[in-house]
């Protein structure tokens, strides 16, 4: 592969016409805005797409993107473990938009799902508040719920992973319909 491990947004924009761009965010996040021409293959579906991604590398370089660069880096590691070279977009679609580059929003996208980081912050905050409230009203042991979330957040920061995001990604609004993923893989094969 001729691209470095990570591409800056300006470098990726200049090469966009020659790259196969794979967006590993949830379908809802993808619908909220993605790089022009990007195909949506959520991170938890990347292994299913390995043969098609491998085939795409025969035709050119692959760029993997997400919101901030963390999930795309994880996807690149999975691809590398399977002998597929890919680059990630430094800073993800957030950096892309911040640098003034256009995001494509599909027609008919009725509503955008919150980004995964925002979903995690809401879920963690609600769970902490619930644990504290139950600890005050019902029994102090319920405060352990809040402590568990705090420990999970520390672990998440130290390992640069997020178990809560993995669970939230399985919710129906964050999952691709089987037909959508099949269509995406067919489009990837046809490129």
The DSSP bridge pattern shows strands 87-89 and 6-7 to be parallel
* Nearest Cα to Cα of residue 102 among 191, 2, 16: 16
- Structure tokens that stand for 51 in this block: 């043969």
DSSP state, 5?
A: S
**Annotated catalytic residue, options 24, 66, 124, 188:** 66
- As a residue count, the chain comes to 191
The 3-state DSSP class for residue 89 equals strand
Instruction: Specify whether the CB–CB gap between 29 and 116 falls below 8 A.
Output: yes
User: CA dist 91 to 62, 97, 181, Å?
Assistant: 17, 10, 25
162 is catalytic: no
Q: CA–CA separation, 153 vs 2, rounded Å?
A: 37
The 3-state DSSP class for residue 33 equals coil
The residues assigned a catalytic role are 66
């Amino acid at each position: 592969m001729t691209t470095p491990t990570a591409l800056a947004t300006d470098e990726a924009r200049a090469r966009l016409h020659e790259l196969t761009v794979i967006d590993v965010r949830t379908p809802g996040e993808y619908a909220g805005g993605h790089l022009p021409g990007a195909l949506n293959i959520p991170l938890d579906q990347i292994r299913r797409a390995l043969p098609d991604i491998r085939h795409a590398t025969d035709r050119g370089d692959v760029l993997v993107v997400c919101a901030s660069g963390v999930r795309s880096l994880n996807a690149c590691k999975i691809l590398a473990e399977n002998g597929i070279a890919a680059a990630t977009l430094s800073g993800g679609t957030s950096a892309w938009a911040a640098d003034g580059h256009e995001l494509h929003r599909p027609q008919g996208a009725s509503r955008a799902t919150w980004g995964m980081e925002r979903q995690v912050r809401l879920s963690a905050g609600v769970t902490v508040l619930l644990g504290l409230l139950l600890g005050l009203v019902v029994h102090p042991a319920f405060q352990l719920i809040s402590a568990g979330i705090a420990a999970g957040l520390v672990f998440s920061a130290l390992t640069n992973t997020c178990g809560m995001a993995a669970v939230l990604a399985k919710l129906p609004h964050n999952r691709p319909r089987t037909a959508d993923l099949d269509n995406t893989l067919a489009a990837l094969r046809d490129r």
